[in-house]
């Protein structure tokens, strides 16, 4: 699997042989121990598009409401949401196509003896696997990549279908075609919020739009 860019990892501080807390800084920012995890506000202005603390608050409310037995995060990055699930004693899985992220997640998992599974794969390969019985799937800020960058879906119905078949509930964060990054990776295609919403109607029995951290990155909570 070819990775198009280096993982956005600033530092992983394990703190020596008796360090209880691992400090993770990069695209996601958090501190984790054997039994606790704490999301942090973006420590620098380098990444204005994401704040792990704000997003975590939003996620935790939905996560607690659904109370999944099996949870999977697609595009799991530095593993924050997967470790949060695992510390809450939920069977939690993280998926990423970038081996750097998967390796770091596995090192944090080993360090703190956390129960979680990390898979190095992409949507097209995961779709072919018999791995469909999740209660909650999160797809945060990654769908625009799959449309025409790290994968070549270019068909919104097929893309949404490949997620819909995996889980009873799917929570998307969707960068629209007006979002800076959404636009950058999809401008030569027909990718649009209208197309996404019509695919949700085709693939799910119910969905609702929820405001996100910016106007152009709304969330969609969808039920099979
Ligand atoms: C913009 S980051 C979002 C990270 C995380 N979901 C969040 O919101 O905090 C996109 C993530 O998706 C991963 N990714 C991109 N294309 C992917 C693909 N085709 N299959 C699996 N993961 C992918 C990247 O490696 C990265 O970790």
Give the integer Cα–Cα distance in Å for 169 and 171.
Answer: 7
Q: pLDDT > 90: what percent of the chain?
A: 90
Give the integer Cα–Cα distance in Å for 63 and 220.
Answer: 14
Residues in a beta bridge with 22: 32
Superfamily classification of domain 9-223? Vaccinia Virus protein VP39 (3.40.50.150)
What 8-state DSSP symbol labels residue 97? S
- Provide mean pLDDT across the span 47-58: 82
3-state secondary structure of 80: helix
Domain limits of the chain?
9-223
| pLDDT reported for residue 51 | 82
Q: Is 75 in the pocket of ligand 1 (CB under 6 A)?
A: yes
Q: Is the pLDDT of residue 49 over 90?
A: no
Which protein residue's CA is at the shortest distance from atom 6 of ligand 1?
140
Q: What is the mean pLDDT of the chain?
A: 95
Q: Is the pLDDT of residue 44 over 80?
A: no
Q: Is 151 in the pocket of ligand 1 (CB under 6 A)?
A: yes
Q: What is the CA(66)–ligand 1 centre distance, in A?
A: 23
Q: What angle do CA 14, 64, 182 make, to 5 degrees?
A: 70
- Provide mean pLDDT across the span 190-214: 97
Q: What is the CA(18)–ligand 1 centre distance, in A?
A: 32
Q: What is the pLDDT of residues 59-100, one digit of tens each?
A: 999 999 999 999 999 999 999 999 999 999 999 999 999 999
Q: What angle do CA 66, 168, 38 make, to 5 degrees?
A: 40
Q: Is the pLDDT of residue 43 over 90?
A: no
pTM, full prediction: 0.97
Q: What is the pLDDT of residues 98-122, one digit of tens each?
A: 999 999 999 999 999 999 999 999 9
31 close to 40: Cβ distance less than 8 angstroms: yes
Question: Please, what is the angle between helix 99-111 and helix 80-87, to 10°?
Answer: 30
- Provide mean pLDDT across the span 176-195: 96
Element (H or E) spanning 83, and its range?
helix 80-87
Q: Is 150 in the pocket of ligand 1 (CB under 6 A)?
A: yes
Sorted by sequence, the CB contacts under 8 Å of residue 118 that are 6+ apart come out as 76, 79, 82, 93, 94, 95, 96, 102, 105, 106, 109
User: Which tokens in the block code for residue 72?
Assistant: 């999977």
| pLDDT reported for residue 48 | 66
Q: pLDDT > 70: what percent of the chain?
A: 97
């Amino acid at each position: 699997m070819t990775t198009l860019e280096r993982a956005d990892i600033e530092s992983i501080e394990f703190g020596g042989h008796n360090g209880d807390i691992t400090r993770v800084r990069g695209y996601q920012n958090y501190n984790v121990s054997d039994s606790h995890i704490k999301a942090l506000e973006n420590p620098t202005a380098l990444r204005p598009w994401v704040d792990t603390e704000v997003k975590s608050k939003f996620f935790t409310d939905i996560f607690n409401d659904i109370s999944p037995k099996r949870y999977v995060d697609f595009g799991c990055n530095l593993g924050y949401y997967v470790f949060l699930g695992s510390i809450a004693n939920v069977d939690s899985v993280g998926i990423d196509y970038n081996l750097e992220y998967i390796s770091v997640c596995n090192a944090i998992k080993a360090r703190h003896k956390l129960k979680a599974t990390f898979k190095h794969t992409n949507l097209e390969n995961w779709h072919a696997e018999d791995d469909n019985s999740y209660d909650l799937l999160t797809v945060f800020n990654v769908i625009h990549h799959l449309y025409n960058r790290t994968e070549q879906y270019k068909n919104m119905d097929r893309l949404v279908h490949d997620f819909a078949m995996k889980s009873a509930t799917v929570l998307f964060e969707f960068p629209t075609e007006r979002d800076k990054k959404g636009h950058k990776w999809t401008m030569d295609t027909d990718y649009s919020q209208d197309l996404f919403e019509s695919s949700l109607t085709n693939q799910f029995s119910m969905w609702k739009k929820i405001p996100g951290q910016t106007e152009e990155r709304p969330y969609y909570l969808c039920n099979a």
